[in-house]
Amino acid sequence: MAIAKKATAAKKPAAKKTTAKKPAAKKLGKIIVEIDGQQIDVKAIEKKAAKLGGDVYVVASEKKIFDQDGNSVELF
């Protein structure tokens, strides 16, 4: 008695995955704030704000950064 072989399904090559390409992200340049004719970079403001810690407020008319407790740092 002969053993019957099962027919195997033909293997199809795996479909190539298409990846959606994201558009190139635009790089943001420096953000510069001008206060009474003087320019200061936002990164410089962040460095000065680190001395206070926590949330800070920039008060342009006084050229200072204040924290919630009223402590301040000069911008210029």
State the pTM of this model: 0.59
| 1 pLDDT more than 90 | no
Whole-number pLDDT of residue 14: 72
Query: Considering only CA atoms, which of 35, 6, 12, 68 is closest in space to residue 45?
Result: 35
pLDDT at res. 9: 64
Q: Which tens digits make up the pLDDT trace of 4-53?
A: 666 666 677 777 777 778 888 888 899 999 999 999 999 999 999 999 98
- What integer pLDDT is reported at residue 51 of this predicted model? 92
- Residues 6 or more apart from 72 whose CB is under 8 A from it? 52, 62, 64, 65, 66
Contacts for 76 with CB less than 8 Å, ≥ 6 apart: 35, 38, 40, 63
- How is residue 36 written in tokens? 């009474």
Contact assessment for residue 33 and residue 24, using Cβ atoms and an 8 Å cutoff:
no
